[in-house]
Structure 1
């Protein structure tokens, strides 16, 4: 398991070993590997958000070396199925054929659109991009709201913070 602190919110994302192995299996380490992606599902055990399941790629996804377009009907079925198991949709993951992953302009636009179009009680969604380097070094993890993407820092000592997060995105979970 590895963790990322969510700014100064006191919350953290914890990726299960099963999810990390799923990411690792889909890294684009060879020139013929296509981009892969899917959804992230979590259990809220605040202050920890446990990412327990990563789905995809799916049979109906359209994948090339440099692009990934998901099967949206399959995605909705996954959301419904996981919710019935007590897991909540918290974001998306996909691969990039670069050593250390970073989001493209399209990635940033797509995640912001997803946050805007979705009905949810979260301050934002998680976007994970998996590069070719071993995890967690090749991994890009962020919290995304309707307009911005905030990169999270791997928590080697559970003391990392990113003070650039705005007050509206200092936590992922909506707390009343």
Structure 2
């Protein structure tokens, strides 16, 4: 398990080993591998937000070397199914063919737009981008609100840290991305 601090909120974002293994399987290590992505689901035990379920990629997604377009209807079904299991949609993940992942302007625009369009009570959504380097060094983990992206730092003792900016608290969860 790895953990990220969520700003000065005292909250943490934790990724269970099963989710980390899923990221590892889909890293774009070879030149022919296409971007992959999906949704992140959490169990809430505040102050910890435990990312314990992950979806994607799906056969119905459109994927290229430098692009990923999810099947949004399938995503909504996944959100509904996971909510029935008391797991809350908290964000998205995808891969990039770069050693240390960072969000593109398209990633930022799409995620902040998703926060604006969605009915929820979160302060933002989680965005994880998985690069080619080993996890967690190649990952970028952020909280995105309606206007900005805030990269989260690894919790002390987890692994070497990447520089990050402060972020607001995460908020509480309602389950609907429509």
Q: Is the TM value for this pair above 0.5?
A: yes
Does residue 13 (structure 1) correspond to residue 16 (structure 2)? The answer is no
1:25, 1:53 → 2: CA distance? 15
Aligned-residue offset at 1:174:
3.1
CA contact (8 A) 2:150 2:165 kept: no
Change over 3 Å in CA distance of 1:29–1:163 after alignment to 2: closer
1:28, 1:7 → 2: CA distance? 29
Does residue 95 (structure 1) correspond to residue 112 (structure 2)? The answer is no
SS of 2:77 mapped into structure 1: helix
Question: Which TM-score applies when normalising by structure 1?
Answer: 0.93
Change over 3 Å in CA distance of 1:163–1:131 after alignment to 2: closer
Question: Which TM-score applies when normalising by structure 2?
Answer: 0.92
- Which residue in 2 is equivalent to 1:25? 25
- Which residue in 2 is equivalent to 1:164? 166
2:12, 2:139 → 1: CA distance? 16
Question: Structure 1: 5+ residue runs without aligned partners?
Answer: none
SS of 2:41 mapped into structure 1: strand
Question: Structure 2: 5+ residue runs without aligned partners?
Answer: 174-178
Aligned-residue offset at 1:154:
1.1
1:2-151 equivalence runs, <5 A: 2-151=2-151
CA contact (8 A) 1:28 1:35 kept: yes
CA RMSD of aligned residues (A): 1.6
Q: Number of residue pairs matched? A: 170
CA contact (8 A) 1:12 1:48 kept: yes
SS of 1:153 mapped into structure 2: coil
Change over 3 Å in CA distance of 1:31–1:163 after alignment to 2: closer
Aligned-residue offset at 1:115:
0.3
CA contact (8 A) 1:7 1:162 kept: no
SS of 1:136 mapped into structure 2: coil
SS of 2:126 mapped into structure 1: strand
